[in-house]
C-alpha cells in the first residue's frame, strides 16, 4: 500500500485585528508547520508603493510591484529587498494602504503564485482573508476567526502601543470599521467564511484557548480524513 503525503493546509481567515496572526503562528509552531502571513504581502506591496511614490490607485504599476517583491521571511523577521521591515509594515497607515490596494484584481492575481509557494511538507498554516475561499480551497481545516469591533480595536491598540506606534482608540475604531467595509464589500475575494469553515468567536477568549480549539479541530480533521 502506498500512502501519499501531500502537505496539509490549515486556513485561518478573519477581519482585521481578530487575532488570527497570533493564533496562526502559534498553531504553526505547535505542529511544526510553515506559516503564510498573506496580509504581510499586501502590506509589503503597499509600503513598496509608498516608498516608490506610486499612487495606490495605479493598478498596473502596483501589480508589477507585487509580482516582483523581493521578500524573505525568516523565523522572526521580514526582509524587503534585504531591509528589515518587520515592524514598519505593522504601522496602521500601512494596513490601511494595504486594504486599498487589496481591492485591485491585478494586485491580487500577482500575489497568487507567491502565496502558493509557501506550501511545504509537512504542512502550512495560512492566515488572511481569502485563504480558505480562493488561495487554498482544498485545505484540510478552515477556520474563520471573529471578534467584536471593540475587542479588536483594543487588541490593535495594545499591539500598536507595544511596538512603539502612536494609537488612539476613537481613530482605531473608525479605521477598523472602514477596513471591514472595504474587505467585505470588494468584488473580488471578499472577506467571508469559506464553505465548511469552523467559526470561532474570540471576543472573550484567550489566545491560548483559541489555539487549543484550532488544534482540537485539526486532530479531529486528521482522524476523519
Ligand atoms: O493585521 P490586519 O488583520 O489588520 O491586516 P493584515 O492581515 O496584515 O492585512 C492587511 C490588509 O491586506 C487587509 O486589510 C486586507 O485588505 C488585505 N488582505 C487581503 O486582501 N487578503 C489577504 N489574504 C490578506 C490581507
Q: 41 CA to middle of ligand 1, Å?
A: 9
> Is 126 contained in some domain?
yes
Which atom of ligand 1 sits closest to the CA of residue 130? 23
Identify the pLDDT of residue 6: 84
The boundaries of the domain holding residue 144 are 8-216
Q: 53 CA to middle of ligand 1, Å?
A: 21
> Is 121 contained in some domain?
yes
> Is 225 contained in some domain?
no
The preferred substitution site among 40, 102, 136 for testing ligand 1, maximizing ligand atoms within 8 Å of CB, is 102
| Residue identifier of the C-alpha nearest atom 20 of ligand 1 | 102
> Is 144 contained in some domain?
yes
Whether residue 162 has a cis bond before it, omega within 30° of 0 = no
> Is 79 contained in some domain?
yes
Local confidence pLDDT in tens for the 225 residues of the chain: 445 568 999 999 999 889 999 999 999 999 999 999 999 999 999 999 999 999 999 999 999 999 999 999 988 899 999 999 999 999 989 999 999 999 999 999 999 999 999 999 999 999 999 999 999 999 999 999 999 999 999 999 998 999 898 899 999 999 899 989 998 999 999 999 999 999 999 999 999 999 999 999 999 999 987
Identify the pLDDT of residue 2: 46
Q: What is the CATH classification number for the domain harbouring 97?
A: 3.40.50.300
Q: 130 CA to middle of ligand 1, Å?
A: 9
CA–CA separation, 194 vs 176, rounded Å? Answer: 22
Place of cell 472573550: 204
| Residue identifier of the C-alpha nearest atom 3 of ligand 1 | 16
Strands (E), the chain: 8-13, 34-37, 71-73, 78-80, 83-84, 123-128, 141-146, 198-201
Q: Ligand 1 pocket: which residues have CB below 6 Å?
A: 16-17, 21, 38-39, 42-43, 95, 98-99, 102, 128-130, 179, 183
> How many independent structural domains does the chain possess?
1
CB contact at 8 A, 152 and 15: yes
> Is 3 contained in some domain?
no
> Is 15 contained in some domain?
yes
> Is 119 contained in some domain?
yes
Q: 96 CA to middle of ligand 1, Å?
A: 9
Amino acid at each position: 500500500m502506498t500512502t501519499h503525503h501531500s502537505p496539509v493546509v490549515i486556513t485561518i481567515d478573519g477581519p482585521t485585528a481578530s487575532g488570527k496572526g497570533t493564533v496562526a503562528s502559534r498553531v504553526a509552531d505547535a505542529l511544526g508547520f510553515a506559516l503564510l502571513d498573506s496580509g504581510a504581502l499586501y502590506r509589503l506591496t503597499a509600503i513598496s508603493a509608498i516608498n516608490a511614490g506610486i499612487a495606490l490607485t495605479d493598478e498596473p504599476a502596483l501589480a508589477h510591484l507585487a509580482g516582483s517583491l523581493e521578500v524573505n521571511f525568516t523565523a522572526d523577521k521580514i526582509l524587503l529587498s534585504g531591509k528589515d521591515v518587520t515592524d514598519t509594515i505593522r504601522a496602521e497607515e500601512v494596513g490601511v494602504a494595504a486594504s486599498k490596494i487589496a481591492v485591485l484584481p491585478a494586485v491580487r492575481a500577482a500575489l497568487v503564485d507567491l502565496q502558493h509557494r509557501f506550501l511545504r511538507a509537512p504542512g502550512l498554516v495560512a492566515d488572511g482573508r481569502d485563504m480558505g475561499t480562493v488561495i487554498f480551497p482544498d485545505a484540510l481545516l478552515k477556520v474563520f476567526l471573529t471578534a467584536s469591533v471593540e475587542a479588536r480595536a483594543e487588541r490593535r491598540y495594545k499591539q500598536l502601543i507595544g511596538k512603539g506606534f502612536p494609537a488612539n482608540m476613537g481613530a482605531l475604531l473608525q479605521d477598523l470599521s472602514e477596513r471591514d467595509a472595504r474587505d467585505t464589500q470588494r468584488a473580488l475575494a471578499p472577506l467571508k467564511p469559506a464553505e465548511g469553515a469552523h467559526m470561532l468567536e474570540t471576543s472573550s477568549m484567550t489566545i491560548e484557548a483559541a489555539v487549543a480549539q484550532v488544534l482540537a479541530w485539526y486532530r479531529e480533521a486528521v482522524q476523519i480524513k
